[in-house]
Structures are given as C-alpha cells and as structure tokens.
Amino acid sequence: MSVYKLNMEQLRNWVGRLIAERPVYGVRQKDERFVFGRLKKPEELRLDYDVTILPPKKYILPTRENLLAYQPGEHYESLWADEPFVLLGVHPYDFVAIRQLDLLFEREKPDEHYLRRRRAATIIVADVERASDNVFAGCVGTAVVKDAFDGLLTRVEDGYLLEVRGEKGEWLASLLESPSPANAAELSRRNDVWENNRRRLRKHELKVPPEQLGDLLRRSVDHPLWEEKARLCYSCGSCNLVCPTCYCFDVRDESDWSLDKGVRYRVWDGCLLEDFAMVAGGHNFRPTRAARYRHRYYRKGLYVPEMIGELACVGCGRCITACTAGIANPVEVYNRLQEEPHEDDAAE
C-alpha cells in the first residue's frame, strides 16, 4: 500500500494516461445531475459530485447483458465480456455495494458473467466531497472505506491523495508522473476528511442499530405501516432500479425472425414491479402492493444480512430521491417500526 500526493495538473495528466490505456468510466455532469459514463478526456471528470443517478454497478451487472448465443437444436456459445476497464470516482458507499455483490455472486453457484466483468474492473474510489440531499452513509458505516479498492482518491486542499493497493494499484501508480509520497501532515488531513464524512453524511438519522434490524423486522410482519405506505405506491420500481445493492434480474430468450438463432440475455428486474413474483400458470407470490413494498425492506434489513452478514442498504439515498410518492425512505420506515412497535405472532 502506498499513498501519493498529486497536484491538480498531475491528476489531470494521470487521468489522461488512464484514458489512453483502457476504457475509463468516470463521473460526468449531465444537466444539473451526475452520471457515470465513458470519459473521453480528463476535463470531463467531476470528482466533486454529490451522487450519480445510477450506481456504478451498471458496468459489472449491466442493465441488459447477453449471456449466450444459440441455434435451436444445434449448439450454444457463452458470451463473455472481460475487457479490462477502469471505474473512476466511485463513492465509498457504492464501493461497499459492489463488495456486497461480489459476496452474493460468488456464493453457492458462482456467476461467471458477473465475476469476469468484476475481475476486469480496476476500481478507484473517491471520498465524498459534496454530500447529496438524502445520503445517510454515516449511519450505516459506509461513509469511508479503507481496503479492498485498487485506488482511493481524497481531496486535500491543493490536490488529491491517491492510495494504491495490490497489483491493479501498482499499475495505477506506474502511470503517475514523478510520484511523490504523501507526508504525515497530508495523511493527517485525510483522516480529518474521513472523520468529517462519517459525521456529515447523515441527512437522515437511523435510530435502529443496524445489527438489531433483523429482530425488529421479524416482529413487524403485520405492522400497519406496510399497508399505509403501499397505498401510495405506483409499483414503478424506481427505488429498485437506482439502488446499488439490488441485483435481481430476469432471464429471457430473443429469437431471430428466422428462428435459426437467438440470444439469451438478462435484464434488471425489481421486486416492486407487479409481475416480479409471477410464475408459470399466472400465480403471483406477492400479488399486493403492500406485500411487494414490505419485501424490499425485509430484503435490505433481514434476508441479505442473513446471507452475507451486512445490511443491504449502504445509505446512498437514491431511492428517497427517486420515489415520486415520497414513501421509499428506509430510515423513515425502520425508525417508525422501532418507535411504533407492533408485536405479532406471525413473525415467530
């Protein structure tokens, strides 16, 4: 592990070299908001963004991904995407989300399509410079990350500190011009940034300790809140689609008109959509909006934590911003369950 100090010109030149070496997906401004997109020149990069519309997981788990090509009755061929690329400027909470996806896609039956893209990615995290309106990463322990990345950029007064780790980190460092190690004062300023981010990335205050959420949810299956909130839900699925930790997908076949060939692909799906739990024969396991609405909070606070030991909400706040009905705030829901307990036997 090494930490270097880069002035703004060194940063710009380094990003330029990255772009010359391989595809770089970084944060760009789009009207008043920010998106991850392919960078063509260093000047497009905005490390001072608040939050991106979609999380960077879209480069590892694309919205649509071809899995295999087939010829009916003949053969099929797996389709792989493993060209190396760089993700530049990933906020710590989005990086934690990617690490959670790693655990989920590696367990039981490893998902080779996901894993190949993940191995191809060099991820450079950037500490948050500007808090978004709804971020609460400070409440769920994701405001700062200290390991598992390939690079970490932190803004300090007249430039950035770049920490690099592992083989991919060495490659990142090899593209620096006249690298100079960070001194003790600069490292201390980085600690201040981390402390500050833990404190300020709390636009909503979660009053339930994350490790107690599972038990709270087990006691809240029949809580009236689910019906009350779901009455306003449009089943639009926006809260799912902007979430960095959601990973559900649907697998479909698309045959050519000739019927001689086709592709099997997967697309993002969302548990708030009406037909998400529909199975052959037309049965829907979650036919009501309340059942679908409740499921999302159980998924984040109980089911995924049971699998990987971590809360599946990293506090990015995107769902809060995306929900037109104003009902998708996990902090508000969990706090209400805590403050207005509803004991029920069904959960036992």
Contact residues toward ligand SF4 (CB under 6 A) are 233-239, 242-245, 272, 300, 313-319, 322-323, 325, 327-328, 330
CB of 122 or CB of 132, closer to ligand SF4: 132
Q: What angle do CA 168, 174, 180 make, to 5 degrees?
A: 115
- Return the amino acid letter for 14: W
Helix (H) or strand (E) holding 95: helix 92-106
Instruction: For the CB of residue 167, give the shortest distance to ligand SF4 in the complex, in Å.
Output: 29
Find the shortest distance in angstroms from Cβ 175 to ligand SF4: 32
Closest to ligand SF4 by CB, 10 vs 52, is 52
- State which residue, 14 or 334, has the beta carbon closest to ligand SF4: 334
* Rounded-to-integer distance, Cα 203 and Cα 222, Å: 29
Name the minimum Å distance from CB 211 to ligand SF4: 17
- If the CB atoms of residues 212 and 324 are measured against ligand SF4, the closer one turns out to be 324
* Residue 230 beta carbon to ligand SF4: minimum distance, rounded to whole angstroms: 8
Q: How far is the CB of 232 from ligand SF4 (least distance, A)?
A: 7
Q: How far is the CB of 144 from ligand SF4 (least distance, A)?
A: 16
Kindly tell me which of 28 and 300 has the beta carbon lying closer to ligand SF4: 300
Residue whose token pair is 């390939």: 150
CB of 322 to ligand SF4, least distance (A): 6
- Do residues 240 and 246 touch, judged by C-beta distance below 8 A? yes
Q: How far is the CB of 323 from ligand SF4 (least distance, A)?
A: 3
Closer Cβ to ligand SF4, 179 or 210, answer by number: 210
- Among 64, 122, 55, 62, smallest CA distance to 94 is for 55
Residue whose CB is less far from ligand SF4, 182 or 327 = 327
Cα 108 from Cα 24, distance rounded (Å): 31
Cα distances (Å, whole numbers) of residue 128 to 37, 116, 131 = 18, 28, 7
Whichever of 124 and 272 has its CB closer to ligand SF4, that residue is 272
Which one, of 141, 140, 94, lies nearest residue 331 by Cα?
A: 140
CB contact burial 110-124 (16+ within 10 A = b; e otherwise): ebebbeebbebbbbb
Is residue 152 within 8 Å of 142, Cβ to Cβ? no
3-class state of residue 30 by DSSP: strand
* Residue whose CB is less far from ligand SF4, 159 or 317: 317
Find all residues with CB under 8 Å of 212, minimum gap 6, and list them. Answer: none
Give me the least distance between CB of 79 and ligand SF4, in Å please.
29
Helices (H), 210-275: 213-218, 225-230, 238-241
Own/partner long-range contacts of 109-118 (Cβ < 8 Å, ≥24 apart): 112/78, 112/80, 113/65, 113/67, 113/80, 113/81, 114/60, 114/61, 116/80, 116/81, 116/82, 117/59, 117/60, 117/61, 117/81, 117/82, 118/60
